[in-house]
Amino acid sequence: MSSDYYSVLGVERSASTDEIKKAYRKKARKLHPDVNPSDDAAEQFKMLGRAYEVLSDPEKRRNYDTTGDENGRPAGFGGAGGGGFGGFSDIFETFFGGGSAGGPASRTRRGQDSLIRVRIDLQDAVFGTTKEIEVETAVTCSVCNGSCMRPGTTPTTCPDCHGQGQIQRPMRSILGTVIQTQTCSRCAGFGNIIEDPCQECDGQGRVRERKTLKVKIPAGVDKGNRIHLAGEGEAGLAGGPAGDLFIEVDIRQHPVFTRRGNDLHATVTIPMTSAALGTTVTLETFDGTEEIEVRPGTQSGEVITLRGKGVAHLRGMGRGDLKVHLKVETPTKLSDKQRELLRMLAEERGEKPGESSTEHRGVFSKLREAWREL
């Protein structure tokens, strides 16, 4: 490996102190024996340490640039003195994520998101509605206002870590002395201790409570859709922001109508004679009473479409349709007179009961007149 310290670090001679430090950290992570155990990497790691030791010190760097003298290199590198790597703080920052520079941890935590399910009627999905729902959740403690402490008290600085939240200990290795950092066990990394916690919330900054919310359910919502209520979830620890609440919609089955997309479907059963002669049927829809005209000769399975009587589009683009499926009912119990009338109809149409016929020659006038006499 080149003995030119700038080349070792991979920086220009005009590099700033921050650029040198950044280059050192980047290479040190790759060459550290814990990551790269090869002998070659260990030698490069040592040279990297020498280069950083000289170039990170303004006076040593000035001497090196002027004379090329390496007297600035750490004499005890790899030994008990531990003078390399530019000191403990540089090693700590490089291999342990910045250490105390990051400061103590915060007690504040965002609350969890919540999910509840709400069942609505199909009609509510068609037009939209507003529902009152009761939720059991965590809310910010009203006594301590999320501080976790009894009102009028303050936390005490941790005597073990002196407010840093971390404790550093020197550790001997084959490369010298390095610094190991650990979360302070006494304060759990917070840097302070609450000696007089709030009795209402047991020092959590939040309590469980039941609250009522008004939820607007938009027209067109479908089963499985979720409504997002920001900030209505559980309150966070120590006054942290609340999570979000998600309302998952379920829709009750309707006795008449079924939904397919934004269309509604209904099945209306009519007598055989009404299908043959034509009629008007009444259907109670979500928009009121509809008179549906059935043309003479209507076959079972035909569909009559009522435009714009279906479910509203969720994004406000009108409504779907109501599709009425007609089912022609064949009578199963006939009186003698009714049976005779049907025979007359069959004869008039040139049909033979029990046999298939493809020719239909008659009209329904005699059947209509005879049926009215019943």
* DSSP letter string, 210-268: EEEEEEEEPTT--TT-EEEETT-SPPPGGGPPP--EEEEEEEPPPSS-EEETTEEEEEE
Q: Which two tokens stand for residue 119?
A: 């069942």
Q: What is the pLDDT of residue 291?
A: 93
Phi–psi pair at 146, nearest 5 degrees? 85, 5
Q: What is the pLDDT of residue 226?
A: 93
Annotated binding-site ranges: 141, 144, 158, 161, 184, 187, 198, 201
Residues forming CATH 2.60.260.20 domain(s) in the chain: 114-151+194-251, 255-330
Q: What is the pLDDT of residue 72?
A: 42
Annotated binding-site ranges for Zn(2+): 141, 144, 158, 161, 184, 187, 198, 201
201, 207 Cβ separation under 8 angstroms:
yes
Please list the pLDDT of the chain residue by residue as tens digits (374 residues): 456 888 888 888 888 888 888 888 888 778 766 566 676 777 787 888 888 888 888 888 888 777 776 554 433 333 333 334 444 444 444 444 444 445 788 889 899 999 999 999 999 999 999 999 999 999 999 999 999 999 999 999 999 988 888 888 887 766 667 777 888 888 888 999 999 999 999 899 999 999 999 999 999 999 999 999 999 999 999 999 999 999 999 999 999 999 999 999 999 999 988 888 899 999 999 999 999 999 998 899 999 999 999 999 988 788 999 999 999 988 888 888 878 888 887 777 777 766 554 444 443 454 455 445 54
Q: What is the pLDDT of residue 59?
A: 80
- CATH 1.10.287.110 for domain 5-95, yes or no, is yes
135, 319 Cβ separation under 8 angstroms:
no
**CATH superfamily membership of 114-151+194-251:** Urease metallochaperone UreE, N-terminal domain (2.60.260.20)
What is the architecture, at CATH level 2, of domain 255-330? Answer: Sandwich (2.60)
Nearest to 186 by CA among 165, 168, 202, 155: 165
Residues forming CATH 1.10.287.110 domain(s) in the chain: 5-95
Q: What is the pLDDT of residue 225?
A: 93
Q: Which two tokens stand for residue 350?
A: 């040139």
What are the DSSP calls for 168-210, one per residue? Answer: EEEEEETTEEEEEEEE-TTTTTSSEE-SSB-TTTTTSSEEEEE
Which SS3 state, helix, strand or coil, does residue 279 take? strand
Q: What is the pLDDT of residue 260?
A: 94
